[in-house]
């Protein structure tokens, strides 16, 4: 059984590969029970086709720890992957898939709202599917915004509305409990990814943008239970990524598109499966007898 630490997980799962793994989530047969909070950890079991996985990750601030264990069709463990790293990559990848399906082909400016653990992979995912030439980074912590901007070759900004008004794609990855920007700042044709709010109490996107936009979620049941943006706005999604990938979604007539993700366990299964297969072929990781 192979084990991949954080650095090895990144080597084994480059973003373009991770995005293609997310396509498998929305075309395969899956089971995705809602996550549970046990003590200081989130527990997420899930199945995709003949593999299943269970993820346990810490919710304790300042302690990014956890594991994803992948099992084969016969119930035997296949391998173990660093949980926080896999989560960040697959969360970016599913937003990248949504961006590929929804954003303008020529989108060239990205506004990244939030500069925490998820932000780097959100930027990498959008860059993988659109010709992004300009990245504007905003965070309530100016030093974090400047640090991430330096890492990705972008620019830190102090006003989220200004960043949003200039952007073709807006990505939000924060623990906010109030909207990060105003509805008026969102220009016609903008695509918004919102991945940070994963409890009913959390909000990143203004209700007016959700009312105005074409809203896509990764899973209707999970969104109804956990997506604070939608719950507080009393907004039901137009469709899911399952239908969007299949081409069976309702026609898009709105001037703004929004992808709201709370994450589903099948995404962890797909990402872990691809990472461990890539690691095996490349000799990455440690083999546990």
Q: Note the pLDDT tens digit of each residue in 217-238.
A: 999 999 999 999 999 999 999 9
Residue 94: inside a domain, yes or no? no
Co-location of 77 and 114 in the same domain: no
**49: exposed, middle or buried (Cβ count in 10 Å: 0-12, 13-18, 19+):** middle
Residue 97: inside a domain, yes or no? no
CA distance 22 to 184: 32
- Separation of CA 269 from chain center: 14
Assess whether pLDDT exceeds 80 at residue 133.
yes
pLDDT tens digit sequence for 68-99: 999 999 999 999 999 999 999 999 999 999 99
SS3 at position 216 = strand
Residues 6+ apart with CB under 8 A from 13: 21, 86, 89, 271, 274, 275, 278
Co-location of 135 and 82 in the same domain: no
- 242, two tokens: 């399952």
CATH of the domain at 13: 3.30.1780.10
CA distance 104 to 188: 11
| Band of residue 61 on the pLDDT scale cut at 50, 70, 90 | confident
Task: Say which residue the tokens 């330096």 belong to.
Answer: 150
**pTM (two decimals):** 0.96
Q: What local confidence, expressed as pLDDT, does residue 31 receive?
A: 94
Co-location of 251 and 276 in the same domain: no
Assess whether pLDDT exceeds 80 at residue 194.
yes
Assess whether pLDDT exceeds 90 at residue 288.
no
Supply the range of the domain harboring residue 192.
103-260
142-152 vs 119-129: helix axis angle to the nearest 10? 40
Query: What's the domain count of the chain?
Result: 2
pLDDT tens digit sequence for 14-60: 999 999 999 999 999 999 998 899 999 999 999 999 999 999 999 89
Co-location of 60 and 120 in the same domain: no
Q: What local confidence, expressed as pLDDT, does residue 73 receive?
A: 94
């Amino acid at each position: 059984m192979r084990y991949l630490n954080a650095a090895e997980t990144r080597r084994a799962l480059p973003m373009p590969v991770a995005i293609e793994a997310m396509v498998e989530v929305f075309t395969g047969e899956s089971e995705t029970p809602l996550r549970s909070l046990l003590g200081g950890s989130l527990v997420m079991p899930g199945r995709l086709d003949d593999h299943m996985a269970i993820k346990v990750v810490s919710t304790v601030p300042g302690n990014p720890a956890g594991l994803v264990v992948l099992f084969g069709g016969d119930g035997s463990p296949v391998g173990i992957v660093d949980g926080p790293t896999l989560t960040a990559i697959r969360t970016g990848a599913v937003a990248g898939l949504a961006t590929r399906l929804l954003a303008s082909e020529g989108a060239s400016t990205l506004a990244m709202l939030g500069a925490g653990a998820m932000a780097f992979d959100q930027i990498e995912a959008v860059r993988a599917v659109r010709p992004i030439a300009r990245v504007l980074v905003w965070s309530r912590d100016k030093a974090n915004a400047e640090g991430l901007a330096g890492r990705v070759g972008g620019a830190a900004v102090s006003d989220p509305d200004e960043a949003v008004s200039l952007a073709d794609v807006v990505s939000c990855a924060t623990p906010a409990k109030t909207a990060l920007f105003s509805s008026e700042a969102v220009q016609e044709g903008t695509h918004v990814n919102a991945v940070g709010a994963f409890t009913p109490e959390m909000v990143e996107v203004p209700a007016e943008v959700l009312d105005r936009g074409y809203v896509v979620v990764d899973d209707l049941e999970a969104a109804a239970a956990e997506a604070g943006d939608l719950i507080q706005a009393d907004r039901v999604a137009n469709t899911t990524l399952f239908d969007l990938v299949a081409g069976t979604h309702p026609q898009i007539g709105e001037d703004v598109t929004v992808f709201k993700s709370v994450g589903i366990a099948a995404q962890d299964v797909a990402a872990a499966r691809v990472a461990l297969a890539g690691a095996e072929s490349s000799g990455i990781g440690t083999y546990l007898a």
